[in-house]
């Protein structure tokens, strides 16, 4: 099976990119997939939650001139479970490169990783940048978690345009869809915005949602998946997350 790469991207913070990246990593690992996570967000939230899985490589190294380091680093290593490529401050230097050069370097490194992993997950920063665009130019799939708030929907509109643009340079990129996240059915504005989102984007919206669940935030803070939170309140959250991971992995064709 060829490695499949998924970027979580939307040019707005707080939508659930990192939440999704981490839960896909945890779930992929328990399914026996070899999962590598590249944290391209300078905020480093995924690096915090997945810290126990840090391999010693840093995200900026995925833009090195040659993939030799990656090729030798993973060759004699047990690559099962989750492998984290940690964020670092040198990511800022990537913004000084031409986008085309940055994207070519990242693509070369993702290609090198494909010898050792089944799934590559890329967490991206909440703004359009060389690293975000490079991620989309290196990925096979992209998904966009989105809150049911006006600013978020505006961010979504921009993201759809960016994805459409970048697909010209990376025609293999498939949009798995928008993931309505942190949905609170008790807020009429959310219910209304959900209807607007589904009406405007139809098939581009995943056919389920994830509610606002305290146990999800608690789990990420405790560096564990939500199904390891031993509270009855975590059960519904677990169900919702697992519907999402199953759907995404099926679309990526990494599971049956």
Q: What residue ranges bind Mg ion (CB under 5 A)? A: 17-18, 45
Residue 217 found at the interface with ligand ADP (CB under 6 A):
yes
Residue 193 found at the interface with ligand ADP (CB under 6 A):
no
24 binds, among ligand ADP, Mg ion, none (CB under 5 to 8 A by kind): none
Mask of contacts with ligand ADP, 52-91, x by CB under 6 A? ----------------------------------------
Cα 41–Cα 47–Cα 49 angle in degrees, nearest 5: 125
Looking at beta carbons only, is 105 or 220 nearer to ligand ADP?
220
Please pick, from the candidates 17, 23, 86, 107, the single residue that binds ligand ADP as defined by CB under 6 A: 17
Report the alpha-carbon distance of residue 17 to residue 12 in Å, rounded.
Answer: 10
Residue 152 found at the interface with ligand ADP (CB under 6 A):
no
**Residue from 123, 194, 159 nearest 12 by CA:** 159
Cβ neighbors of 126 (< 8 A, separation 6 or more) are 10, 11, 12, 13, 14, 15, 17, 41
Identify whether the C-beta of residue 206 lies closer than 8 Å to the C-beta of residue 180. yes
Residue 177 found at the interface with ligand ADP (CB under 6 A):
no
- In the beta sheet, which residues pair with residue 119? 4, 35
Structure tokens that stand for 132 in this block: 């975000």
Q: Which residues bind ligand ADP (CB under 6 A)?
A: 13-19, 45, 126, 181-182, 210, 212-213, 216-217, 220
């Amino acid at each position: 099976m060829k490695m499949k790469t998924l970027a979580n991207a939307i040019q707005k913070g707080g939508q659930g990119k990192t939440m999704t990246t981490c839960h896909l990593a945890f779930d992929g690992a328990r399914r026996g997939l070899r999962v590598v996570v590249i944290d391209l967000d300078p905020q480093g939230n995924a690096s915090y939650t997945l810290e126990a899985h840090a391999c010693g490589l840093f995200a900026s190294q995925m833009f090195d001139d040659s993939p030799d380091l990656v090729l030798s680093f993973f060759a004699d290593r047990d690559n099962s479970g989750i492998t984290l490529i940690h964020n670092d401050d040198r990511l800022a230097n990537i913004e000084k490169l031409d986008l085309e050069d940055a994207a070519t370097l990242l693509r070369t490194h993702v290609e090198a990783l494909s010898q050792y992993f089944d799934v590559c997950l890329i967490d991206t920063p909440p703004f359009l940048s060389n690293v975000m665009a490079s991620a989309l130019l290196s990925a096979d799939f992209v998904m966009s978690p989105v809150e049911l708030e006006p600013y978020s929907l505006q961010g979504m509109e921009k993201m759809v345009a960016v994805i459409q643009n970048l697909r010209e340079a990376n025609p293999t990129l498939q949009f798995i869809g928008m993931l309505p996240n942190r949905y609170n059915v008790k807020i009429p504005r959310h219910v209304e915005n959900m209807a607007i989102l589904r009406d405007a984007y139809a098939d581009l919206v995943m056919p389920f949602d994830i509610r606002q669940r305290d146990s999800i935030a608690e789990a990420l803070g405790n560096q564990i998946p939500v199904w390891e939170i031993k509270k009855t309140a975590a059960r519904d959250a677990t169900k919702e997350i697992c519907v999402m991971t199953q759907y995404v992995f099926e679309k990526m064709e990494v599971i049956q």
